[in-house]
Amino acid sequence: MATSLKNLNDYKKEGFGDISDKKFGIVVADWHSEITDVLCAGAIETLLQHGAKKENIFRNTVPGSFELTLGAQFLALQEEIDAVICIGVVIKGDTKHDDYINHAVANGLTNVSLKFNKPVSFGLVTTNNLEQALDRAGGKHGNKGIEAAAAVIQMLSF
Ligand code: RBF
């Protein structure tokens, strides 16, 4: 699995604190699961590399990216969860569904983060086609799941 996760070193690690006792919720959308699974693996690997314990990482699945917000809220509501990582892939189609979903998720996750005062990351890959999404899930543009995990780690030591 690790070999498929590229650009592992492309984010800044300065200021990352100890996360060995932190608990992480991950919400993964089932749409385009062949891609969201790779993004999620990148996020989990990053957490482990920075010292998180396997038993403190809780992965949950939602049907599609639109449901990421409620999934994030369910997790953020749990006192023991310190941060939430959200993973989805929305690919543009013939209609404007992508616009509605993407804006709803961006606004929704911002609201959850502010409401619960916890880091909630936006690991939503929004692309024009499948190839662009694959490029961002272990392809030439790295793995955006890694960045989504790195973002919450950094915010935990804000
Ligand atoms: N969910 C995704 O995570 N990625 C998509 O690319 C995606 N495309 C969709 C396209 C259409 C036309 C519709 C109606 C839904 C799509 N969904 C997608 C599912 C959406 O996030 C949500 O799960 C469903 O609308 C049910 O609330």
Structural domains of the chain ordered from first start: 32-156 (3.40.50.960)
Cα–Cα distance, 107 to 139 (Å, whole number): 28
Closest atom of ligand 1 relative to the 64 alpha carbon: 23
Q: Are 74 and 56 in contact, with CB atoms under 8 Å apart?
A: no
pLDDT of residue 31: 98
Question: Which residue has its alpha carbon closest to ligand 1 atom 15?
Answer: 97
Ligand 1: distance of its center to the CA of 48 in Å?
A: 30
- Please give the average per-residue pLDDT across 24-36, as a whole number: 98
CA distances from 151 to 11, 12, 24, 43, 64 (A): 9, 10, 12, 10, 22
Q: Is the whole model's pTM more than 0.85, yes or no?
A: yes
Please give the single-letter amino acid code of residue 98: D
- Say what the pLDDT of residue 10 is: 64
Q: Which atom of ligand 1 is nearest to the CA of 67?
A: 23
Q: State yes or no: pLDDT of 48 exceeds 70.
A: yes
User: Mean pLDDT in the chain?
Assistant: 94
| Banded model confidence at residue 11, pLDDT cuts 50, 70, 90 | confident
Cα Rg of the chain (Å, integer): 14
Binding site membership of 97 for ligand 1 (Cβ less than 6 Å): yes
